[in-house]
Structures are given as C-alpha cells and as structure tokens.
Amino acid sequence: MATKKLSRAEQERAIKKILSTEKSDKTRTILAGSFAAVGICVFLAIIDGIGSLSLPFEPIDYVIFGILAFLAPYGFYTSAKEKHIREIETRLPDFLRDVAEAGRFGMTLADSIVIASSGRYGRLTPEIKKMAAQIEWGVPASEAIRLFSERVKTPLVIRMTSIIRKANDAGGNVADVLTMVSHDAKESILTQEERNVTMSTYVMVVYISFFVFIATILILNLQFLPKMEEAGTTVNESAQEMGLQEIPGVNIKVAVIDEVGFVFLLAIVVHAVGDGILAGVIQKGSIPIGMRHSFIMLVAGFVSLRILFA
C-alpha cells in the first residue's frame, strides 16, 4: 500500500489540520471549575457565619465542601486519564509486534502502520487509526509517531517511539528494532504491574489506619466526651450547692467540650487530605491521583462525624 507523497508545505498544512482536530486537555477547565466551586463554598461559609443564611450546616462544613469540590473533579479526571493511558500501554507491545511482522514482508514503516490499523487493540485502536490517517494524508511515519507520543505522553511511550523514530530515520531493518522494543515494553509493563500489586498492600494499610482513626474519634465523641460533660455538670452543681464557683482540685471545663469536637473534625480533615495524597504517591507516585483517595477519605470522615454523630 503506497502512501501519498506531499510537498513539505502540504505536509505542514496537514500536520496543522491534525493538531487542530485533537482533543484539548481538560485539566485547566476542570481546575477552573474546581476553584469556582471552592469560591462559592467559601462565600456561603461567610454568609452563613454572619447569620444571613439559614441552612443546616456550620461554616466549617462549607469549607469541607469546598475541599471536596477541589479534590473530586481533578482527582477523578487524573485517575481516569491514567487508567486510559495504562490500557493504551498494555496493548502497545501487541501493536509493535504486528507492525514488525508486517515489516518482515518488505513493507515500509508507514505501510506497516496503515496495515496494522485494521487490527483491534482496545483503547489503543483509536490512536493507531489516527496515525494511519495522518500517514495517508501525507504525514511522514516518524512525524505521525511523534504526534502519537505527544498525545499519550508517558515515559514508556516516549522512550519506545523515540527509538522507533531514530531507527526509521537511520534506515536498515526496522522490524528487528520493533521486535526488540515490543519485548522491552512488555517487560516494563509486567514490572509496573508487579509494583502496583505490591504497593496496593501499602495503600490498604493507609486506608485501614485512617478508618481506625475515625473509629477512635467516634468512640471519644460517643463515649468519653459525654461522660466528661456529665461529670463536669455534676461537679459544677455540687460546687454551687456548697456556695463555691469550683471545687479545688476538681475542675472540668464543660464549655471546651464542643471545641474538642471541632478539633476532632479538623484532625479528620487533615488526616484525610494528607493520607489520601500519601496513598496516591505510594500507589502511582502522583499527587493528583492521591486527591481521589483524599476525597474518598474526607467523605467517609465527614459522614461519620457530622451525620452519624449528629
């Protein structure tokens, strides 16, 4: 199968047309929406704090809603994007192997990619069809591969495509290079999967420790603090009966118990955000992915302390 031969100016116009049809990254849009939601929550907290708004929430609740609004969109979008890229990388060795097999029959790299585009490679299939369409429009194979690496943009894909482009530009038997790259990509993916299985154990430890912390807070709120409040009330009543403001050596400040509950809530917020980010770093070495874990933990902590305890 022969591809169209275009002049350099026509190739540049084709590349610009391809780039103009690429889906833009939604990261900035999602972040802008998250910051807008945070601003709305802070505004509601201020309005509720001055008494102009009557809702069944406290000002700190709106702050928590703002944190959740910031964590959820970007965290889940990044996680979905990472999953999509991982699925692409998983099928990349199969695609490289098929291109190498086509090259052994005397086809050029460009023709091999076009032939391989008729196969099924899961999430990788749309990207291969884009490369094939670009080549059929007259874009050189090396340039089409470079555009593919910029779309996916992971260390594995960048390394693989860089080797393929250099081998294609240097000439020679590209099929052998593709076979070697396919084996290397397969080994890298297997190593990464083994690491993910190992790190998932540590992520579970982070979750278990956080839920143990929540259980401890709930026990203190449901058992310890009410008993302390009851004992403090009894001591104050006994002091008043004796005509004293307080009994020397026995003083329980009942007024600070509500402040202790507020501190517990802040502790849950800090632990949820911090532990979630730690889980993301342990699992994937990524803070944005950790934001998804932070969202899950913060929702669990808020529901436990604000709704169940209420």
Q: Each residue of 131-158: pLDDT tens digit?
A: 888 888 888 888 888 888 888 787 888 8
Read off the DSSP letter of residue 221. Answer: I
| pLDDT exceeds 60 at position 17 | no
Kindly report, residue by residue over 68-124, the tens digit of the pLDDT.
999 999 889 988 888 888 888 888 888 888 888 888 877 888 888 888 888 888 888
- Summarised one tens digit per residue, pLDDT across range 260-308 is 778 888 889 999 999 999 999 988 888 888 999 999 999 998 888 776 6
254-274: b or e for each residue (b if 16 or more CB lie within 10 Å)?
eeebeeeeeebbeebbebbbe
Is the pLDDT assigned to residue 1 strictly greater than 50?
A: no
Q: Which of 112, 116, 93 lies closest to 103 in space, CA to CA?
A: 112
Q: pTM of the predicted model, to two decimals?
A: 0.75
- pLDDT of 225: 74
What's the mean per-residue pLDDT of the chain?
80
Q: What is the pLDDT of residue 2?
A: 44
The enclosing H or E element of 231 equals: helix 225-241
The arithmetic mean of pLDDT across residues 228-251, rounded, is: 62
| Over residues 52-74, mean pLDDT | 82
Using the structure block, give the residue that is written with the tokens 């052994």: 104
**250: pLDDT strictly greater than 60:** no
Quick one: how far is CA 194 from the chain centroid? 20
Q: What is the DSSP string of 141-152?
A: HHHHHHHHHHHH
**The predicted structure's pLDDT at residue 3:** 46
List C-alpha distances in Å: 55 to 5, 47, 62, 63: 68, 10, 11, 14
How far is it, in rounded angstroms, from Cα 94 to Cα 178?
A: 11
For the record, the structure tokens of 175 come out as 């099929």
pLDDT of residue 98: 86
